[in-house]
Structure formats: C-alpha cells, structure tokens
Amino acid sequence: MIMSRVFLLIGLYFLTLFQLGFWSHLAIDGVWPNLVLLAVLLVALSSKNKGLIWLAALWGGFLLDIFYYHQIGLAILTFIILISLLSLSRRFFALEGMMGTLIYLAVFSLAYEPVRYIISFIFTSSPVLSFDLFFLVAQTVYHLVLVLIFWLILPVKFRRIFSA
Amino acid sequence: MKNNRRKWIAAVLLVMLVLGLSRLGAGPIEEIFYIASQPFYRFFDYLGGKASGLFGYFRDQQMLIIERDDLAREKEELLSELARLSDYCLEKDELAEVLGTESDELDWRVMMGKITYVNASQDWIMINLGRRDGVETGQPVITSNHVLAGRVGQVYERQAEVKLLSHADSLVKVKTVDVSPAVSFLQGKGGLRTVLQSADLTQDFKVGDDLVTDVFRDEYPANLLVGQIVQVERDEVRSMLAAQVMPFFDWSTERNLFILEDF
C-alpha cells in the first residue's frame, strides 16, 4: 500500500516535469495534453483505493500549482471538485470498460478548464478567461488519442488501468 | 458515524490549508521545487527539443508539399494573367499604331517655366523663360499632364508670350480618340473660344468627344490633350460642321508650363 503511494508521488512528479519539459515541444497547433490531469483521472477511474485517489488529486494539483499556475490551491481545488463529481457521477451512471473510461475522460477533460476558471474567482477578483472551446475540444481529443495509443501498445496485464 | 465526522473535519482542514497556502503565496515552496527539479527538467527539455526536431522534419516536408502545390496553382494563375496581358499589349500596340503614336518612351527635350502673367482678354499668358533660355517662336507649350496650352508667340530676353489655343492665330490639327478618329482643325476665335470646323458633314464629331493633337507639319507632337467638344452644329446649306471645344488647359490651376524644344 505504501509502495503504491510512493510510486504515485514519484510518478506524478516526473510526469509533471515530462509534461513541462518534453511535451511542451510537441504542442499541436498550440494544444498540448495535460498529462497530470489524465493520470489523476485514470487513477480515479481504475483504482478502488480512495486514499490513493485523493492523494493523486492533491499531489497532482499541488504539482500543477507549483509548476504551472504559480498559485497554490487553484489546481488542488479543481482536482478535488473533479474527483468528487466523478465519484458522484459513477454512483448514478456506472459506465464500465474501455468505452466507459473514454467517456469519463472526455467529459472531465472538457470540464477541467471551466471548473478551474470558476475556482479562480476564489483566488483573484478578476480571473482571466484563458481557455477557448477549440483548445478544450482539441486537448480532450489529444487525451483520448493518447489513452488509446497506450491501451494498444501496453501489454494486456497493464490494460486494466484504462478500465473504469 | 464517527468515521464520517473525522473525514469531514479532515476535508475542511484541508480546504483551509489550501486557502491559507494560497494567501501566503507559492514563492519559497516553488523555489525549492524548481531548484530540485532543474536537472530532470533540463533532461526532458533536451529530449523534447530533439523529438520536436524529428517531428518538425516531417511537418516541414508536409508544409513544403503544400507550398509546392500552392506555387503550382499560383504559377498557373500568373500564366493565365500573362496571356491576358499579352492580349492587352497587342491591342495597345494596334491602338498606338492607329493613333500614330510610338509605344516607346517619349524622349522630348523640355524647358520648365512659370506663368508670370495672364491676359485672358487677349488669349495669351507670359512665362519666365526667354531668348536667353533658348525659347523660340512657335514652340509648343504643354502642362505636366501633356495638355496642350498653346504655342510660343513673341519672345523677349527674359520672358516669352504663349498664345493659347483660343488665340485668333492658333490653328491646331486635332483628332478624336477613337480607333477610326475624325480629324479636323481647331481654330482659336479669341475671347477664350475655340471652334472646330470641318467641311465634311459626315465626320463623326459628337458632344463629349475628347480631342488630341494630330501630326501636322511637325508643329506639335501627336496625342497631346487638347479639349472636349461641348456643342456640335451642322449647317446643311453651307455644308459646314462647327463644334465648340472646351480646352483642357486651365491657366487658373496651372503654375508651371513646359516648352517643347525637341520632340
């Protein structure tokens, strides 16, 4: 149990740096994937360990706050809200398998920026609307394509992490 | 029940902690993380740069193909434009031939002078060029827009008289601007009036026709702008055509004139 948490902390840390250092060079038409969001959502979808899910949300949000938004709390609260909504929605709409994962990922990838925008009201009195519909849709498609690619290239025993 | 209460307390404390941290700012924590992460970040950055270069190669190749297609399309458009312009050029040459003009550049030798005095009642003006400048009687005088003003009359040492087209001594061979131009003589009648007269009633002079000079005894170069027909009268009995012409030259708006020394 402890090992999986340590692995999660280190994994998300390097994933953030990977996103920041490596993937920023591979932006397609100004759109890049939010790998940390993707990882946190995948953990929330595949794991039954609530402690691990909340740890992923808090740590992932913290790392994004530190390296991206330079404002502690913005991404953490966004992730808390997203994971809460995800848990809630899974009680009513139990989508399973790979298709379920893709649908949840699409919905919550699309919801990330608007939720972050709403949260930003708490931190600043005049938040800047820094997202557009094209970016949201393109980033969501980017996420789905990445998940599909990994699902196809990873060995079968690892594919369960992509199943809701 | 107790467990749930603990969870709620933990959640509230967590939110308070997050909000508290946000108020404090991320400065020192951010710095520690940045310093600790620098080597890894640089490594990923290096890898990203390399990967970008690799993808960039394919992307550039794709761009080159698109650009090549665009250029091919543009070339076709330009060729079509060129063909159309060639037609225009031919038409222009034909028209120039009809009008008796050369399509080459004009190589006139001119002198520029200023209007110093206007005698409208006697249809002449004075310019500040004279004998000492090489001005001779009979030389055509035009404006910068190739509008014929008249001809040099009396020449003095430092100035010269220019007889306007409406001067009684003025007689200019003119033609209409047309593929088959009507040709006749424009006679100055004094009092700023010019009349075109012709013994041929069939000549197609109409109100609104623009007139330009025609070559006649090398007095003027061809195709200088002269004036516009404002009224046409045909006398069937005397078999005479008379047209009132409004000269294009307007001394009230011109300051500089050009004397054609050689044309």
List, in order, residues 6 or more apart from A84 with CB less than 8 Å away.
none
User: Has the ipTM of the complex gone over 0.90?
Assistant: no
Task: Give residue A36's pLDDT.
Answer: 92
pLDDT digits (tens, 9 = 90+) for A73-84: 888 888 989 999
Q: Which of the two residues, B221 and B14, has the higher pLDDT score?
A: B221
Residue of A26, A67, A70 with shortest CB distance to B48: A26
Q: What is the pLDDT of residues B32-72, one digit of tens each?
A: 888 888 888 888 888 888 887 776 677 677 788 888 888 88
Q: Cβ A67–B33 below 8 Å, yes or no?
A: yes
Q: What is the pLDDT of residues B130-147, one digit of tens each?
A: 888 889 999 999 988 888
Question: By a Cβ cutoff of 8 Å, what residues of chain B touch chain A?
Answer: 14-15, 18-19, 21-22, 24-26, 29-30, 33, 37, 40-45, 47-49, 51-52, 55
CB contact under 8 A, A25 and B51: yes
CA distance A23 to chain B (A): 6
Mean pLDDT computed over B9-15:
77
pTM strictly above 0.80: no
Instruction: Count other Cβ atoms within 10 Å, centred on residue B140.
Output: 23
The pLDDT tens digits for A108-163 are 989 988 888 888 877 665 565 566 788 888 889 988 998 888 888 877 766 666 66
The A-side interface with B (CB below 8 A) comprises: 13-14, 17-18, 20-26, 58, 65-67, 70-74, 76-77, 80, 122-123
Q: Is residue B186 within a helix (H) or strand (E), and if so which, with residue range? A: strand B183-190
Best to test chain A binding among B14, B15, B44, B47 (most A CBs inside 10 Å): B44
- CA distances B166 to A38, B190, B237, Å, are 91, 5, 27
Beta carbons of A70 and B26 less than 8 Å apart? yes
List chain B residues with CB under 8 Å of A17.
Answer: 37, 40-41, 44
Residue type at position A27: A
Determine the pLDDT at residue A131.
64
**B170, B167, B166, B199: which is closest to B183 by C-alpha?**
B199
- pLDDT of B22: 66
Residue A67: its chain B contacts at CB < 8 A?
Answer: 33, 37
The 10s digit of each residue's pLDDT in B147-201 is 899 999 988 888 899 999 999 889 899 988 877 788 889 999 888 889 998 888 7
Tell me how close the Cα of A148 comes to any Cα of chain B, in angstroms: 20
Give per-residue pLDDT as tens, B68-124: 888 888 887 787 788 778 777 776 776 666 566 555 556 788 888 888 888 877 888
Phi, psi values for residue B154, rounded to 5°: -70, 135
Tell me which chain B residues have a C-beta less than 8 angstroms from the C-beta of A74: 22
